[in-house]
Amino acid sequence: MPIYLDNNASTRPLDGVVEAMKPFLGAEYANPSSLHRFGQQVRYKVECAREQVAGLINAEPKEIIFTSGGTESINLAIRGVLAAQPAKRHLITSAVEHSAVRRLAAQLAREGYQVDEVGVDGEGRLDFAELGERVTEDTALISVIHANNETGVIIDAERVCEIGARHGVRVHLDAVQSVGKLPIDVRELPVHLLSLSAHKFHGPKGVGALYVRKHTRLTPLTFGGRQERDLRPGTENVPAIIGFGVAAEEAIDLPPERIDSIRRLRDDFEARLQAAIPIAQVIAARADRVYNTSNIGFERLQAEAILILLSERGIYASAGAACSSGSLEPSHVLKAMGVDPQVAHGAIRFSLSRFTTAAEIDRTIRVLEEVIERLSATMAACS
C-alpha cells in the first residue's frame, strides 16, 4: 500500500463526504434557485451545508460565500476589498504567501497598486514590527497566510488583527491550511475575511468559501445571477458544497486525542529522522506549527531526486508547494526565512493526516535512510 504524506496538497475525502455527495450527482439534480419544491429541497441542503461550514469557524451562515476553492476565495477577498475602497492603493502581504496571494499581488503591482511584503524570521514568524511600520493612510488591506502550506508555521492572527484594528485597516487571512486543523472562532478573532478550502480537510476538491464579516464592503469579481449574495454569481456546485458541509462537521468532531496522536507521530518522525540521518534538518522546528506538517531539509541533496526515489518506493511527499513542484527553484518561503540554499534545495514536505499510521512512519524513516544514503553515495562518487 502506498504511503500518502502529501496531505497539505490534498486529503482523502472521508467516506461520509463521498456518500453525502452521491444523491446530488444523480437524483437530486434540481437547481437550488428554482422555486419549485424539487429545487427548494436542494436549496435546503445547500443552506444546511452553509450552516455546517459556518459552524467550523463560528461564523453566521450568511457570512459564508461558497466559491470554487481557496484560490478563488483569495482573489475575491483581495480584489473585492481593493475595488470597494478605490481611494486606497496599498496592499500588505508577507514574504511567505501561497502563490494564490503571491501571484495576485504581483498582478496588482503591475496594475499600479503598491504592494509590500513583510518579512519573517529564521523560523518563519512574521515580523510584526515591520507590519506595523508598513501600514499607511493608503493601506486598503493586510492579507497574510495563517498556517504556511510549506512549513506549517502559524502566524499569530490576533496580532495581525490588532495591528489592522489600530489603523482601521481590513484584514484577510489565507486560512486554507489552518481551517479544519486549528480551532478558529471569528467571534473571538476580529478578522474581516478568511479563505478556506474543503479539499485540505477531507472534503471534495474545487469548493471553498470566503468568510465575509458583516458590514465588510466587497465588490464582486464576476456578474451574473443573484447567488451567494451577489458576490459569487453562478449556479452552485451542489454536490461539492454538500460534501464540504460534511467535511466541516467531521473536522469539528475530530477528538483532541486524535489531533495529539497525529502531532506525536509527526514529532516522533522528526526526532527519529534526525537521529538516523545526520544531514536532516527540521525547518522551523522552534516555531508554532500545525500538528501535521514537517519540512525537512537534506543538506546538499536535490529534493526532486529524493521525491522520485520515494515515489518509486510508494511514498508520496512534496517539495515545497505542490504547484511549484517540478521547478528547480528553491522555495520562496525558505528563501525568505534565510534557510541555507544547500538545505533549501533538498527540502521535502511531509504532511500527515488522521489516516497516517505509526507503521507508515516507521517505513518512511527506513526508506528515507536508504534513499539518502544512496543519493549521498552518488554525490560523493561524482564530486
Shortest Cβ 297–ligand PLP spacing (Å): 20
* Contact string (CB under 6 A) for ligand PLP, positions 47-86, x = contact: ----------------------xxx---------------
Of the candidates 48, 161, 323, 382, the residue annotated as catalytic is: 323
Q: Is residue 331 part of the contact set for ligand PLP (CB under 6 A)?
A: no
Q: Spell out, one character per residue from 120 to 149, where the chain touches ligand PLP: x when CB under 6 A holds, - when not.
A: -------------------------x---x
Q: What are phi and psi of 340, to 5 degrees?
A: -50, 125
48 tagged catalytic:
no
What gap in Å lies between CA 92 and CA 28, rounded to an integer? 44
Beta pairing partners, 82:
none
> Does 6 participate in binding ligand PLP (rule CB under 6 A)?
no
Q: Does 334 bind ligand PLP (CB under 6 A)?
A: no
* CB of residue 197 to ligand PLP, shortest distance in Å: 3
Q: Check binding of 318 to ligand PLP (CB under 6 A).
A: no
- What CA–CA distance (Å, rounded) separates 161 from 141? 11
Q: Which three cell numbers stand for residue 273?
A: 529522522
CA distance 248 to 57: 9
Applying CB under 6 A, among 177, 292, 318, 351 the residue interacting with ligand PLP is 177
- The residue number whose beta carbon is nearest to ligand PLP equals 70
176 binds ligand PLP (CB under 6 A): yes
320: alpha, beta or left? (left if phi > 0; alpha if psi -120 to 50):
left
Specify the residue for cell string 483532541: 256
β-partners of residue 90 are 114, 139
Site map (CB under 6 A) of ligand PLP, residues 179-198, x = contact: ------------------x-
CA–CA gap between residue 187 and residue 57 (Å, rounded): 8
Quote the radius of gyration of the chain (alpha carbons, Å): 21
**Cβ proximity of 346 and 306 under 8 Å:** yes
Cα–Cα distance, 300 to 291 (Å, whole number): 27
Cβ closer to ligand PLP: 147 or 273?
A: 147
Window contacting ligand PLP (CB under 6 A); options: 171-179, 226-234, 251-259, 364-372: 171-179
Pull the grid cell for residue 33.
Answer: 434557485
Binding footprint of ligand PLP on the chain (CB under 6 A): 69-71, 98, 100, 145, 149, 174, 176-177, 197, 208, 322
